[in-house]
Copies of this chain bind each other. A is one copy, B any other.
Amino acid sequence: MIKIVILGAGNVAGHLFKAFQATENIEVVQVYNRSETALEDFKSETAITTHLADLKDAAIYLVCVKDDAIKEIISRLAHKEGIIAHTSGSVPLSTSAKRNAVFYPLQTFSKQKEVNFQEIPFCLETSEEKDFSLLEKLAKSVSEKVFSISSEQRQKLHLAAVFANNFSNHMFAIAEDLCAQHQVPFEVLSALIKETAQKATQNSPKEVQTGPAKRNDQATIKQHLAQLNNADYKEIYKLLTQSIKNKNG
C-alpha cells in the first residue's frame, strides 16, 4: 500500500483522488487545501486539513496547486521525508526538497467531465534515481501510458502541444468560420475532424498528409486562395501550403 497526501483541491486533485480511490494499492491518507470550502468533496472519504503543519506522513506528497503557488508550497514541505512531486507541465523539477519529482498527467481536465486515466500519459521525473520506481508504480496504478521525461523534454513537449492542440484547434475554428459564412452546418465536418485525429495518432502524421499542398495541385490552391477574403486566413493558407511542400518535397 502506497500512502499519499494530495495538496490542492482543484480539477487535477479531484480527478486523481477519484482514480486513486478506485485502486487497490494506493491510499490517499489526507487532502490539504488552503481554503476549507473546496475540501467539502473529499471530507467524507479521507482526512482533510487546511494547515500544512498538520500534514500526515506519506510516501508521496502530490502538489496539485496552481503553477505560481508550487514553489512556495514545496519550500514549506522541504523537511518532509517523502517524495515531493508537483503535477505541472511547465514548472521545472524543484531543487528545494530532499526528494523532488514531477508527476505530470498530460491532458486538460474540466471539472464536470469524467476522466479515463488509462489513456492519459504520465510524464515522470525524479531528482533521485531510486525514487523513480515508486512514482512509476503510482502512475501505473491508474494509467497504461507512463513515460520518463526530463524537465528539458517537458519544455519541448509543452511547445509541441501548442501545435498539436492550440494551433490545430485554430484550424478547426477557421473551418467553422468558413462554414458559417456559407450557411453550411459545421457538424458536416465532425466525422472528418475525428478521423484526422484518429489517423494522425495511429500513424505518423507526416505519412498520412493529403491535400492540394501535398499533391502540389496548383489549380486547386489558386482557386482556394481566390475564395478566401479574410487576410489572416489567406496568409495562413499560403504559409502552411508552402510548409507542407517543404516538409514533403
Contact = CB atoms under 8 A, between A and B. Distances in A.
Interface of A: 90, 106-108, 119-121, 123, 145, 147, 149, 152-153, 155-157, 159-179, 181-201, 204-206, 208-214, 220, 224, 227-228, 232-233, 235-237, 239-240, 242-244, 246-247
B205 A176 contact: yes
Task: Classify the interface of chain A: helix, strand, loop or mixed.
Answer: helix
B156 A191 contact: no
A167 to B, nearest CB: 5
**Number of identical monomers bound together in the oligomeric complex:** 2
Given A165-B196, A171-B171, A194-B198, A160 B184 contact: yes
B236 A196 contact: no
A166 B200 CA distance: 11
A182 B153 contact: yes
A170 to B, nearest CB: 5
Q: Which 3 A-B pairs have the closest CB atoms?
A: A166-B211, A197-B197, A164-B175
A165 B211 contact: yes
